[in-house]
Amino acid sequence: MPDESYHFQVIRRAIEIIDTHQGEELSLSDLAARMHMSPAHFQRLFSQWVGISPKRFHQYLTLGHARALLRERFTTLETAEAVGLSGNSRLHDLFIRWEAMTPGQYADRGAGLRIRHGWFDSPFGDMLAMGTERGLCGIAFAGDMGREAAFADMAARWPKAELIDDRAGVEPLVRAALDEGRARLHLIGGPFQIKVWEALMNIPSGQVTTYSEIAARVGSPSAVRAVGTAVGRNPVSWLIPCHRAVRKSGGLGGYHWGLPVKRAMLAREAARAEGAEVDGTGLAPGATMQPAEASQKAEPGLLSARALNRA
């Protein structure tokens, strides 16, 4: 959708205004006026960005929204995994299949890999997508640091890989994930990182969990700091939803591509989740249930298959 980045810039500006007026209850008219828009125009843009007409647009964008999510929509990963595809709390509009490099390949720092890359429009601004022949291996957002810095950040993760500027080559992987609801990922990381990233893929959309909960789930309850580092090194942002991890206190924690992006992602997912619950389907607008075989074990050569909601 060509206007998605513009929508995100509007939302980002709204977040900045709300932060500037902490403690004030800004009405829709107040917020729109500060953005030099009519209330109707701002409401329409927000609705287009979210996919529904939200009733609580202001609450979704406030700094304390993560605290409210932790109180109202916290999930334990054990429960999330048990619910799987059968639970109405999940929004089943993205099915992810992934595989990881072997530890030896990871130690080679990308040697022998050909990674194609290109820039795409997204609901969260300029998005860099990178992929191998096996699937998407990187997604980054340039809103905070710019394209050049975002690309350098990602390229440094696999310094020995052959990087090919080929938007057309990676576009089928991007379109499959964003438009068709099926994503193939090629995870390039260490064994502990892979375990953490797998845990992230079990957090339902519209919900959050804590870094300590993830640490417990991967069998290292005292390794909260190491989990936080692994979450921050997630190379496939958004599809592997590291933005759904928050601090136990309700603080947002960090986000590699900037906290405005994390806040926007959580706001959009919460609004869509609430809209789906009101609708009574448990599904995001336009979403359909995945076939039963989606919950089966992955075919040989794949480590796992998980259902995950696209924001």
**DSSP structure string for 184-242:** EEEE-S-HHHHHHHHHHTTSPTT-BEEHHHHHHHTT-TT-HHHHHHHHHT-SBBTTB-G
- The burial class, CB within 10 Å (0-12 / 13-18 / 19+), for 203 is buried
Query: How many Å apart are CA 126 and CA 41, to the nearest integer?
Result: 23
What is the Cα 232 distance to its own chain's centre?
Answer: 12
In tens, the pLDDT along 285-309 reads: 333 323 222 322 333 233 333 333 3
Task: Report the DSSP beta bridge partners of residue 245.
Answer: 209
Average pLDDT of the residues in 43-48: 84
Active site residue 242: yes
Q: What is the pLDDT of residues 77-112, one digit of tens each?
A: 554 454 443 333 333 346 778 888 877 777 888 898
What is this structure's pTM? Answer: 0.76
pLDDT given at position 55 = 64
Q: What angle do CA 172, 243, 114 make, to 5 degrees?
A: 35
Q: Which of 174, 185, 242, 307 is catalytic?
A: 242
CA distance 260 to 138: 20
Residue 157 to residue 235: CA distance in whole angstroms:
9
128 - beta bridge partners? 119, 140
17 falls in which pLDDT band (50, 70, 90)?
confident
CA distance 299 to 284: 28
pLDDT at residue number 10: 85
Tokens at residue 109, please? 């720092």
Q: Which of 30-44, 72-86, 183-197 has the lowest mean pLDDT?
A: 72-86
Q: Residue 168 — pLDDT band, cuts 50, 70, 90?
A: very high
Domains of the chain: 2-108 (1.10.10.60), 114-277 (1.10.10.10)
Q: For 122-158, how does the pLDDT look when each residue is reduced to its tens digit (9 = 90+)?
A: 989 899 999 999 999 999 999 889 999 999 999 999 9
Q: Is 61 or 215 the better-scoring residue by pLDDT?
A: 215
Please state the φ and ψ torsions of residue 300, each to the nearest 5 degrees: -55, 140
Return mean pLDDT, the chain.
78
